[in-house]
Amino acid sequence: MKKILVTGGAGYIGSHCVVELVKSGFQPIIIDDFSNASPATLQNVFDLCGREIPVITGDCSDEVLLRTVFKAHEFEGVIHFAAFKAVGESVEHPIKYYQNNLNGVLSVVKMMEEFGVQKLVFSSSCTVYGTPTGSVKVTEETPLGVPNSPYGWTKLMAEQIIKDVAKNGKIKAVLLRYFNPIGAHESGKIGELPVGVPNNIVPYMTQTAAGIREQLTVFGSDYQTTDGTCLRDFIHVTDLAIAHIAAINLELDKEIEIINIGTGKGTSVLELISAFEEVTGKSLNWKFGPRRAGDVEAIFAEVEKAHKILNWSAKRGVKKAIEDSWRWEQYRLKHEVV
């Protein structure tokens, strides 16, 4: 059974990826420092996997720890999720983001070189495109822009680090530039579990509907979109996890492959709220607030390359993602998962 190191494997996207790896016949090994994940969700991950998964508690930028992990396991590849990921927080705490996100990727690729592990799937982001000029539907050939946040810069810089390291032929990488993950596992047993106040809209919506948060704020009402709110490409987290399985299985004939992962469709914030109210039957208490630093007005993916290279496409829509997120929120509250 091929072993895959999953950094940040206890987090939101990482945990869903671990479940899909097991379904696909891999043996994931998780490393996570639980700075933005809860150990309480791991048993549910194990239940969905049908067995316990090895978990190493620690920071993947710790080279001493990472070297011990690489010595103990012969890895087929690495899927690197571990990073701070809130745009707004990165504007407020840029040093925290640069230190964590860049040191993590540097340590991982260094260990891969040292131990002869070639295949890397990197969790990148559409933030590397900055604010698109011309079409808001971006392809992999769309010129990279000026990221609107330190978070975006860390993804752009990490991509460059990986590209430079790959030039020596010791690693090959798939850079997955994905858009806006939402949703939860259809079982309702795992989902997004933010530490403290959510930075992402869907968990804030579910917590508002559940009475945990008083009111949802929609940041900005005067964008040049159809309804004045930001337009995003919201992708179900399970579809996103499956894309990572396709990427780790990809036989690379070149050093770097860059692929957008999204639905190819844009949904505004107000459209998302409307869909939430329709699916859940809950009326959301929300208000408009000022624009938030770092937010891009409108962006969504051209996904033809993902279809062609990975034989992958998104199967689950926004309403399915909301349905699963609400199921997870109810499960979380019932079982006191925090």
How does residue 194 score in pLDDT terms, banded at 50, 70 and 90?
A: confident
Average pLDDT over residues 225-242: 98
pLDDT for the residue numbered 88: 87
Average pLDDT over residues 157-170: 96
Taking only the tens place, the pLDDT of each residue in 56-81 is 999 999 999 999 999 999 999 999 99
Share of the chain above pLDDT 70, in %: 100
Average pLDDT over residues 28-57: 96
Taking only the tens place, the pLDDT of each residue in 27-38 is 999 999 999 888
151, part of any domain: yes
273, part of any domain: no
The pLDDT of residue 160 is above 90: yes
180, part of any domain: yes
Share of the chain above pLDDT 90, in %: 93
Question: Cβ contacts of residue 248 below 8 Å, gap of 6+?
Answer: 4, 21, 26, 76, 77, 79, 119, 121, 174
Give the count of domains, the chain: 1
The pLDDT of residue 91 is above 90: yes
292, part of any domain: no
The pLDDT of residue 291 is above 90: yes
Three-class SS of the chain: CCEEEEECCCCHHHHHHHHHHHHCCCEEEEEECCCCCCHHHHHHHHHHHCCCCCEEECCCCCHHHHHHHHHHCCEEEEEECCCCCCHHHHHHCHHHHHHHHHHHHHHHHHHHHHHCCCEEEEEEEHHHHCCCCCCCEECCCCCCCCCCCHHHHHHHHHHHHHHHHHCCCCCEEEEEEECEEECECCCCCCECCCCCCCCCHHHHHHHHHCCCCCCEEEECCCCCCCCCCCEECEEEHHHHHHHHHHHHHCCCCCCEEEEEECCCCCEEHHHHHHHHHHHHCCCCCEEEECCCCCCCCECEECCHHHHHHHCCCCCCCHHHHHHHHHHHHHHHHHCCCC
Taking only the tens place, the pLDDT of each residue in 264-273 is 999 999 999 9
How does residue 338 score in pLDDT terms, banded at 50, 70 and 90?
A: confident
81, part of any domain: yes
Q: Which of 105-109, 133-137, 247-251 has the lowest mean pLDDT?
A: 133-137
Whichever domain contains 252, its CATH number is 3.40.50.720
Taking only the tens place, the pLDDT of each residue in 295-316 is 999 999 999 999 999 999 999 9
pTM of the predicted structure, to 2 decimals: 0.97
Measured CA to CA, the distance from residue 103 to residue 153 in angstroms comes to 14
Range of the domain at 81: 3-184+234-262+301-315
Average pLDDT over residues 318-322: 98
337, part of any domain: no
Taking only the tens place, the pLDDT of each residue in 116-143 is 999 999 999 999 999 998 899 999 999 9
Burial of 134 (0-12, 13-18, 19+ CB in 10 A): exposed
Active site residues: 151
325, part of any domain: no
220, part of any domain: no
Measured CA to CA, the distance from residue 278 to residue 284 in angstroms comes to 11
Closest of 82, 116, 115, 107 to residue 162, by C-alpha = 107
